[in-house]
Amino acid sequence: MLEGLGFRAVFAIVLGMVGSTAMAEAAMVSGEAIKAHTAFLSDDLLEGREAGTRGYDIAAAYVATQFALYGLKPAGANTDFYQRVPLRRRSLQPDGVRFEIRTKDGTTHYQNGRDIAVDASPYTLAEDIEAEVVFAGWGIRAPGLRHDDYAGLNVKGKAVVILEGAPASFPGALRAHYSWIQQKERMAAQSGAIALLTLKSPEREQFSPWERARQARPLPALGWRDPAQAANRPTIKATITLGPQMARSLFAGAGRDIDEIYQQSTSSPPRGFKLPASMRLSRRSVHEDLSSPNVIGVLPGTDPKLKNEYVVIASHLDAWVGPKGNPDTIYNGAVDNAGGIAAMLEVARLLSIGGGGKRSVLFFATAAEEKGLLGADYFVAHPPIPLNEIVAAISVDGLMAFHDFAGIVALGAEHSTLGEISLAAARSIDAIHMPDPIPARGNLALSDQYPFLRAGIPVLFPNPARGNSREGGDDVAAWDDYESRHYHQPSDDMKLPLRWDVAQRWGQYMYAVVAGTANAPDRPRWYEADELAAVFAPAAERAKRP
Ligand SMILES: [Zn+2]
């Protein structure tokens, strides 16, 4: 099953060294190589690889150099490995936000970064928005799930207050899709609303804390520089996260108990209603235009027919950058996601020395993932090869190599035949598939596979499962320490207790998934009666569930 065996044989025959132990080792992913790539990309010299910075550009040049060394080719009509993504950095002017709520009792001012969290406008430099406020439940319109928070609610020209996330009753992957803030902005705009005010329920707070939003949202942000597109589709002028105190007083002013609404939302959809209040936002923004490249390399397929089908493996090259830490100010992003890029590079190296798979494989180091999947979104909107030639999109995001995992959480696996390929790959490294332990977090919409999924392409987003160490015991302390103290922090660096033998095993699994997809007799197909396929690929050919 494992294509690595086939490749190993080919490699050995080419060099005339069949049976050599050295050869068998050469045919494997190298933990040392993953370590070396991770160390370079997460070095302080690259200053966090934030999209639009010199550090990011150096990281991009590094990946492009590796692609060249492996003999990869530019994609489609591209003449080099770069797809330049035009971006706009938006910042608030000092004291550039004034926000107030007016009720019959008077006007209350709320401070950005303390009571509310809002970033600069992507569209205009100076604006004053005034609107009545309407509560609209989850702010979700999902006809396939018979859920419409906007039914019977007039929100034209209004500011809608909505709960972040989506009902627990939604199937996991669709819950992720409908939780995605850009999806909610689209639904609100289509309903005629002009601003979005979001609430964090206690459940949501667990994995998307207010404190993080409070610190991060007022910081400079990035988006596409594409005013024509913005002009052509309905957009929300402003999205504002409400702090817990502010939200409480807003609802109390309407005689409503917000805790009751949070509680109800776990069982039945909370009904929308008009709040006896209006909001006013005055905002002054600064725009700076720049560009940051996606790095794309293709290993052409060997089969004359199947080489026109592409397997995409995507991994984000930028790192999260937040407020300047003290004393460590650089967000190195070693685990998230220098390590993911490193694993992808090892897959590229191994596949290329084996001469490639039957299908073409497109290696995609994405720009500005941490800014809202901007690079992957741009690729799907401006694909260098026709989208219908892409048969699968596989993400590698994070290098959770803290203990010798026995399980793999392969998001997306239960929706298409990619799951069977992933299961075979997992078995090849003595691992099994395990269910998503935190479906409420909506991880399927939180990495670079998501724009491909929205385009109807079968996707896979695998990660090692926490706990269940193969070595016995329950060695999860380092894992938990990473999640709680180092994720998206300056301390995500090479000082973490990463195990490169585990990284090697993870890379070997990724290799087996990509090679398995590239060489499978049939392209990946969605399963019959699958709820994701029903939304994103209603006309696609289906396969029977195993
Ligand atoms: Zn990441």
329 in a domain, yes or no? yes
Bond prior to 468 in cis (omega within 30° of 0): no
Shared domain check, 174 and 239: yes
473 in a domain, yes or no? no
Shared domain check, 203 and 59: no
Shared domain check, 231 and 318: no
b/e map 298-323, b = 16+ CB within 10 Å: bbbbbeeebbebbbbbbbbbbbbbee
484 in a domain, yes or no? no
Domain stops at, among 253, 287, 321: 287
CATH classification at residue 421: 3.40.630.10
Token couple for 460: 């896979």
Residue 230 has a pLDDT of: 57
Q: How far is the CA of 528 from the centre of ligand 1 (A)?
A: 31
Domain stops at, among 238, 256, 287: 287
Q: How far is the CA of 397 from the centre of ligand 1 (A)?
A: 5
Q: How far is the CA of 367 from the centre of ligand 1 (A)?
A: 11
Indicate the number of domains in the chain. Answer: 2
Shared domain check, 327 and 231: no
Shared domain check, 504 and 366: yes
Q: How far is the CA of 30 from the centre of ligand 1 (A)?
A: 22
Shared domain check, 140 and 38: no
Shared domain check, 208 and 120: yes
Q: How far is the CA of 372 from the centre of ligand 1 (A)?
A: 11
Shared domain check, 126 and 243: yes
Q: How far is the CA of 375 from the centre of ligand 1 (A)?
A: 13
Q: How far is the CA of 323 from the centre of ligand 1 (A)?
A: 18
21 in a domain, yes or no? no
Q: Would the pTM count as exceeding 0.85?
A: yes
Tens-digit pLDDT profile for the chain (546 aa)? 333 334 344 333 333 343 444 444 447 999 999 999 999 999 999 999 999 999 999 999 999 999 999 999 999 999 999 999 999 999 999 999 999 999 998 999 999 999 999 999 988 999 999 999 999 999 999 988 899 999 999 999 999 999 999 998 888 778 888 988 888 999 999 999 999 999 999 888 988 899 999 998 999 999 888 755 655 677 899 999 999 999 999 999 888 899 999 988 877 778 899 999 999 999 999 999 999 999 999 999 999 999 999 999 999 999 998 877 778 889 999 999 999 999 999 999 999 999 999 999 999 999 999 998 999 999 999 999 999 999 999 999 999 999 999 999 999 999 999 999 999 999 999 999 999 888 777 788 889 999 999 999 999 999 999 987 887 766 788 899 999 999 999 999 999 999 999 999 999 999 999 999 999 999 999 999 998 999 999 999 999 998
Domain stops at, among 254, 287, 320: 287
Three-state secondary structure of 416-482 = ECHHHHHHHHHHHCCCEECCCCCHHHCHHHCCCHHHHHHCCCCEEEEEECCCCECCCCCCCHHHHHH
47 in a domain, yes or no? yes
Q: How far is the CA of 267 from the centre of ligand 1 (A)?
A: 32
C-alpha–C-alpha distance, residues 49 and 474, integer Å: 34
383 in a domain, yes or no? yes
Q: How far is the CA of 315 from the centre of ligand 1 (A)?
A: 8
Q: How far is the CA of 42 from the centre of ligand 1 (A)?
A: 13
CATH classification at residue 145: 3.50.30.30
Shared domain check, 93 and 59: no
Residue 228 has a pLDDT of: 53
Shared domain check, 312 and 274: no
Q: Position of tokens 């639009």?
A: 52
Contacts of 148 (CB under 8 A, 6+ apart): 140, 141, 142
Shared domain check, 399 and 311: yes
288, β-bridge pairs: 89
C-alpha–C-alpha distance, residues 106 and 541, integer Å: 59
472 in a domain, yes or no? no
108 in a domain, yes or no? yes
Shared domain check, 149 and 52: no
Q: How far is the CA of 35 from the centre of ligand 1 (A)?
A: 17
**Containing structural domain, residue 404:** 3-14+33-73+300-463+500-538
Residue 227 has a pLDDT of: 56
